[in-house]
Amino acid sequence: MNATMTLIDLAGWVALLLWGLHMVQSGIQRAFGPGVRRILAMALGDRIRAFLAGLAVTAVLQSSTATALMAASFTAGGLVEMVPALAAVLGANVGTTLIVQVLSFDVSKAAPLLVLGGVVMFRRGTLTRTRDLGRVAIGLGLMLLALAQLLVVIAPFEHSPTVALLLRSAVAEPLIAIVFAAVLTWAAHSSVAVVLLVMSFVAQGVIPLHTGFALVLGANIGTAINPLVEAPAGDPAAKRLPLGNLLNRAVGCAIALIFFETMVPPLSRLEPDPARAIANFHTIFNLASAVLFLPLLTPWSRLLRRLLPTRIRPLDPRQPVYLDESARETPPIALASAAREALRMADVLETMLEGAREGIVRGDRRRIGETRRMDDVLDRLNAAITGYLSRLDPDELDAADNRRLAAILGFTTNLEHAGDVVEKNLMALAGKQLKRGLALPREAVAEVSATLERLAANLRTAAAVFMTGDVRAARRLAEEQVFFRSLESDAAEAHLGRVRGGGAEALETGTILLDVIRELRRINGHLVSAAYPILEERGELLPSRLRH
């Protein structure tokens, strides 16, 4: 019973350590995520700047996986070259050792103060960043508390021959210890947590120091597996960077194993404190790997390109381009990616409006078919954006994030509905006109053409309002409703006049023209919907159009 309770305590404190680390990472990413992503993107020019940027960004985010995924998204998108991206990942490997260095000192007494300060900042903070930093302080406090309690739980193991024998036999050989730690780190998604756990076991004498060194090597391999697993499937080029990072660490571990027996004694003498020795070895290994591989990145990148060539395939317009899965951990970046994809939907709808003009005004049968098929592109992109946003963690979204998310979903839904009107109604009217050989009057053709051009301009204004939230542009867009109401009213009167003075053909032609104007007004209504959230937030809307 005592052994069972001890294992439960051990698992609980390890879980608290992981949760504290998650709070630190998520808090820092929410507070500084967009800024550090921009810094990383700007610094990926040469290998030295990229190395320092990767080190700095990972020291802030405390996640080499996040840095590696960001760098991988840049290389997959063709924004940066492979060499500086590999250098940034080498820097990220060094940066993730810094928190281990800090926590290797006895700072457990600061845990209550950090939790108290973090709760005050989180509950009393009026600024979003203050609340995020409060989350970071709470996470650090929980990590320190968990590490202190781990030492208490593990202490009896030192005097338990059975437990000590079991652990030492399980990881007796360095190679077995490396594989064990790699699997554990891959499952935990955190090399920091595993290295801190190894420090606790070594500090209490449960496992010897040289076994702790081997476990650290395995943790470094395990943390490089996750970016490779999470890389986008389909294009092998997207896996170049994470594979290069994994191979870098594997080669570094192989070299360390060759000299393992000779390097353990001097490292042990260098730092008498076992926990500090583990932290130092973790840092030294990553620094040595960076020194070894930085000069070799150019031929290394060539080898990766040869192993994973770019798959050349035509771009499928139905597939999203900007929905970066690695950005979902940072809501502002994820929302910006979704907004950028929404603008692609606006471009598709503008092409459909041009196709509608060709189909109605010129009777182009080919453009009618093409325009109808493009509605499937809108449907697919809308579904992809909705699915992407639904996978964001609600707990990571603040009030501003939720408002932006709702605006993106509203904008894309209205674009998709407008596309349905073009495909199902406008193109049906164009097909009907073509099938029956009806020709619109010259003045009607000019009117429809001018209205479609005006509608395309409104679409561009709606996209600008969606991106900038400009009140003046939103007012201009909303005022377009007046024009389209007048247009429909005038079209109805003109239709009545044509019916009185013409025959059956005039009646049918006028009916088609009136239906076209009505559908154009419906499309404009969906576009104007982009202005309403902005105007309502600024108090620019009346509750009703009815006269009081």
Contact 207, 167 (CB under 8 A): yes
> How many whole angstroms separate alpha carbon 98 and alpha carbon 81?
27
Structure tokens at 451: 């209205």
The domain ranges of the chain are 2-307, 325-537
pLDDT at 314 (0 to 100): 52
User: Average pLDDT of 85-100?
Assistant: 83
Using DSSP's 3-state secondary structure scheme, residue 338 falls into helix
Contact 331, 401 (CB under 8 A): yes
Rank 32-46, 132-146, 308-322 by mean pLDDT and report only the highest.
Answer: 132-146
Contact 341, 331 (CB under 8 A): no
Q: What is the DSSP string of 356-421?
A: HHHHHHS--HHHHHHHHHHHHHHHHHHHHHHHHHHTS-GGG--HHHHHHHHHHHHHHHHHHHHHHI
Question: Which residues fall within 8 angstroms of residue 25, CB to CB, at 6 or more apart?
Answer: 61, 62, 63, 66, 139, 329
Structure tokens at 206: 């449960």
Least confident of 80-84, 271-275, 517-521: 80-84
Name the pTM for this structure: 0.59
DSSP state of 436: T
Q: Which position has the higher pLDDT, 284 or 164?
A: 284
User: Average pLDDT of 207-227?
Assistant: 85
pLDDT(40) > 60 = no
Q: Which position has the higher pLDDT, 239 or 64?
A: 239
> How many whole angstroms separate alpha carbon 458 and alpha carbon 468?
15
312: left (phi over 0), alpha (psi -120 to 50) or beta: beta
> How many whole angstroms separate alpha carbon 268 and alpha carbon 280?
10
Structure tokens at 450: 């001018």
| End-to-end CA, the chain | 77
pLDDT at 414 (0 to 100): 92
The Cα-based distances of 216 to 87, 178, 211, 260 in angstroms read 22, 8, 9, 13
Report which residue type is found at 286: N
The Cα-based distances of 188 to 30, 99, 219, 355, 363 in angstroms read 22, 17, 10, 52, 62
530 pLDDT tier (thresholds 50, 70, 90):
confident
Residue 30 burial (C-beta neighbours within 10 Å; 0-12, 13-18, 19+): buried
Contact 378, 415 (CB under 8 A): yes
The Cα-based distances of 321 to 203, 308, 399, 420, 542 in angstroms read 49, 21, 27, 22, 39
Structure tokens at 2: 């005592």
CATH code given to domain 325-537: 1.20.58.220
65 pLDDT tier (thresholds 50, 70, 90):
low
> How many whole angstroms separate alpha carbon 303 and alpha carbon 192?
30
Q: What is the DSSP string of 341-358?
A: HHHHHHHHHHHHHHHHHH
- Cα dihedral across residues 147, 149, 150, 154: positive or negative: positive
Radius of gyration over every alpha carbon of the chain, rounded to an integer in angstroms: 31
Q: Of the candidates 179, 182, 219, which has an alpha carbon nearest to the alpha carbon of residue 199?
A: 219
pLDDT at 384 (0 to 100): 92
Q: Which position has the higher pLDDT, 457 or 444?
A: 457
Q: Which position has the higher pLDDT, 38 or 84?
A: 84
Question: Which residues fall within 8 angstroms of residue 293, CB to CB, at 6 or more apart?
Answer: 86, 90, 248, 252, 300
Question: Which residues fall within 8 angstroms of residue 487, CB to CB, at 6 or more apart?
Answer: 451, 517, 520, 521
pLDDT at 76 (0 to 100): 61
Least confident of 229-243, 250-264, 373-387: 229-243
pLDDT(38) > 70 = no
pLDDT at 363 (0 to 100): 74
Question: Which residues fall within 8 angstroms of residue 511, CB to CB, at 6 or more apart?
Answer: 495
User: Average pLDDT of 354-366?
Assistant: 81
Contact 37, 330 (CB under 8 A): yes
pLDDT(1) > 50 = no
127: left (phi over 0), alpha (psi -120 to 50) or beta: beta
> How many whole angstroms separate alpha carbon 398 and alpha carbon 440?
53
pLDDT in tens, 121-168: 887 765 667 787 888 788 878 877 876 776 666 656 555 555 555 555
pLDDT in tens, 369-388: 888 888 899 999 999 999 99
pLDDT(293) > 80 = yes
> How many whole angstroms separate alpha carbon 272 and alpha carbon 288?
22
Q: Which position has the higher pLDDT, 538 or 181?
A: 181
pLDDT in tens, 469-514: 888 888 888 888 888 888 777 766 665 666 555 555 556 666 777 7
Contact 421, 519 (CB under 8 A): yes
Per the prediction, the chain carries an average pLDDT of: 78
The Cα-based distances of 469 to 88, 100, 472 in angstroms read 35, 43, 9
pLDDT at 41 (0 to 100): 56
pLDDT at 504 (0 to 100): 52
Buried b (16+ CB within 10 A) or exposed e, 209-242: bbbbbbbbbbbbbbbbbbbbebbeeebbbbbbbb
pLDDT in tens, 397-421: 777 888 889 999 999 999 999 999 8
Rank 49-58, 141-150, 219-228 by mean pLDDT and report only the highest.
Answer: 219-228
pLDDT at 14 (0 to 100): 73
> How many whole angstroms separate alpha carbon 343 and alpha carbon 412?
9
Contact 388, 334 (CB under 8 A): yes
Report which residue type is found at 268: S
> How many whole angstroms separate alpha carbon 70 and alpha carbon 250?
22
